[in-house]
Structure 1
Amino acid sequence: MELELNEIQEQVSRCIRCETCMDVCPSYSVKKEYAYSPLGRIDALEALLKNQVTENEEKSLLTCNICGRCTQVCPQNIQIGELVILGRNLLYTKEVIPTSRHKKIIESIINKENAVTRERNERVTYRDSAYRKYVESKSDTLLFLGCISSFFQENTAKAAVQVLNKLGIEFRLLQDEGCCGIFLYDGGYFDKAESVFKKNVERFESIGIKRIVVLCPSCYKCFGIYYPKLLGKFDIQVFHFVELIAQKVEDIKIRRLTADLGMDLILHEPCKMSRVMHITEEPRKILNSLGIRFKEFEENKEMSFCCGAGGGVRAYDMNLALGIGASVLKKANDNNIVTMCPFCTMNFNHSAKKNGLKTKAFHIAEILLSSLEVFD
């Protein structure tokens, strides 16, 4: 705890109040209230260090998407997202959180092994017999579907399985996959996160998993950064789906043809892909190699827009998450969105429905499957 307090103190003391971060913060851009800004969060952290805890500190810290846009422009390189997580841990130790909604999600992760409060047998690998042969596979490469694709974005799961199968990539699935646990870590519930991490590692090691392929950047960040950080080591290789496909794209005989998918696309890059894992060229390589036409957002790559759902925001303030999502949809200018995250896909489509927008969002696995089918 002392190390956490020192880390918060050292970084917040470097803030020069230049307000550069204000213009790029997704929550502040929607709410226009100081508490929802990076500077508001700096103030909340300073208040916590003085043991001053009010609803304002809770609101400020729990509405941060941990998207990293503020750090990209900060002249002092303050890691506000990381500090917010430490601040949330302080709220947890002071018993300010979990909120009632957080309690339900935490209980679901621990008891039902998913972050979406569904029963185990509702997972797609239970309900669809088409997945059985992959569950029974002995491959040492695991396709980790993630909670959102397993329960809500089933088209993403099905598309990824079919694309890997079409490309001759061997893999397996887990029927009882479990949650990666990122909600727990990002929420500051480090003790609970460590327990879930250890359980997952034991499961992976028991069946000889050497590589994990994820569809979700949050799972990627969790396995790639949080697991070794909290557990000391994590020896399993982790890849995002697009990294694996980018390695294989030169083998696809249909490359450089034009895939007429009947829609105009614009490429969206999830926060954890572009700013954390620094994966920006792979999706462009794949789409270009297949001749799939797409446009770019004015701000992209390391300054890509946040969808609004991450960092626990959708669980804490649904309207804020949808408002941020709608702001990105409007910037898409009626182009349909292709992204690399099922959570982004879900939040964008929910935002579009709520705001009466025609824009649709697709995971890149769905677009790839459509293009492969065009050329079959």
Structure 2
Amino acid sequence: MDTRDCLPLSSLYYYLKTRVTGSLNEKDLDGLYRCALCNNCRLADLNLSVRNTAVNKGLVAPHLTRINKNINEFGNPYGMMPVRRENTGGIKETVLFRGCTPTYKTPEILTAAENLLKRKGIEYSTISDETCCGNILFNMGDRASGSGAVRKNIQKFKTAGVKRIITICPGCYNAFNKYYRGQDGFDPEVILAVDLLSGSTTLEGDFAIQDPCHAREKAGTVRKILPGSRKESAGPCCGAGGGVMSFDKSLASSKARKVVDGNSAKIVTYCPFCYVNLSSLKPGKVSDIYMLLDGHGC
């Protein structure tokens, strides 16, 4: 089987192989982790189930080991020294969960989002010792480690008295709704920041919007903020998700190239991870929605 690209039937092949033989080998991992879990082929759940099986059987991909180690030691998958903010103490009913990618890779997005929220008069606090939400661990098939991140964060939220969480990253938004909801009484309202910009903030223009895999249901909201934008997504997937960026950066770049070269209009993302992958090819052609709006004083 050719595993140089993420072929849809690869997920089915590995799923059937684990059901029939009960095992995978190291070579199989090369194909298994070339899937970005975008689910355009409707086989992402099969791929993820095989990843879970592999990890449970002790067949752990090197990049998963590295990511897990970084989260355990530094609180983020990038292995960067923790960024802490002053702990103001007291009850934090509404918190902005900054997320690993905005904090460590795209601080310009974080700053822009904070500026917009302040202009809207939205008050919030932050968790001074914020750590990874764990979404990447679940996507990599390591449920045990992902659940550990969930427990750690829920305890922080409960201690702080959190009732409302604003996220910038769709991955964090997905994790809180999919993996946290109902765990140990976790029930805060979870909001993706773009929802708070809807209604009064608009910017006209011909934009090609890259809808992220974890927040496609926000496509209509974003197009109301950017009226005149094309209805269809700039691309089916930026190519970096599901651990592909960490596993094979050249594959992530080749998929991003299809999105960048396939659109004549300026591409706008509302996912920091999509922004990282797409803007690495043509920075001037790709913008993030928070940066775009903030730059225009919206």
CA distance in 2 between partners of 1:208 and 1:331 (Å): 46
SS of the residue 1:110 aligns to = helix
Letter in 2 for 1:322: S
Say yes or no: does 1:326 pair with 2:257: yes
2:81 match: 119
CA distance in 2 between partners of 1:209 and 1:240 (Å): 16
Query: What CA RMSD, in Å, does the superposition of the two structures yield over aligned residues?
Result: 2.5
Count of aligned positions: 297
Question: Superposition pairs for residues 43-62 of structure 1, below 5 Å?
Answer: 43-49=13-19, 50-62=21-33
Shift in Å, 1:175: 2.5
1:158 match: 111
Shift in Å, 1:196: 0.9
1:291 match: none
Cα contact 1:266–1:332 (8 A) shared by 2: yes
Larger Rg: 1
1:68 match: 39
Say yes or no: does 1:307 pair with 2:246: no
CA distance in 1 between partners of 2:101 and 2:107 (Å): 8
Shift in Å, 1:166: 0.9
1:271 match: 213
Q: 2:197 aligns with which of 240, 245, 262?
A: 245
Q: Deviations over 1:95-116 (max 9, x none)?
A: 22131x3222101112211111
Cα contact 1:220–1:238 (8 A) shared by 2: yes
Say yes or no: does 1:149 pair with 2:102: yes
Q: 1:196 aligns with which of 114, 130, 149?
A: 149
1:19 match: none
1:23 match: none
CA distance in 2 between partners of 1:52 and 1:139 (Å): 47
Say yes or no: does 1:205 pair with 2:124: no
Letter in 2 for 1:44: Y
1:41 match: 11
Letter in 2 for 1:37: L
Q: 2:225 aligns with which of 272, 286, 294?
A: 286
Relative distance call for 1:117 and 1:89 in structure 2 (3 A) is same
2:44 match: 81
Letter in 1 for 2:237: C
Relative distance call for 1:138 and 1:166 in structure 2 (3 A) is farther
Q: 1:222 aligns with which of 167, 175, 183?
A: 175
Shift in Å, 1:228: 2.9
Cα contact 1:41–1:57 (8 A) shared by 2: no
Richer in helix (by share): 1
Shift in Å, 1:136: 6.1
SS of the residue 2:190 aligns to = strand
Cα contact 1:34–1:40 (8 A) shared by 2: no
Say yes or no: does 1:370 pair with 2:298: no
Structure 2: runs of 5 or more not aligned: none
SS of the residue 1:242 aligns to = helix
SS of the residue 1:70 aligns to = coil
Shift in Å, 1:322: 0.9
TM-score by length of 2: 0.91
Shift in Å, 1:86: 1.5
SS of the residue 1:69 aligns to = coil
Q: 1:346 aligns with which of 260, 263, 276?
A: 276
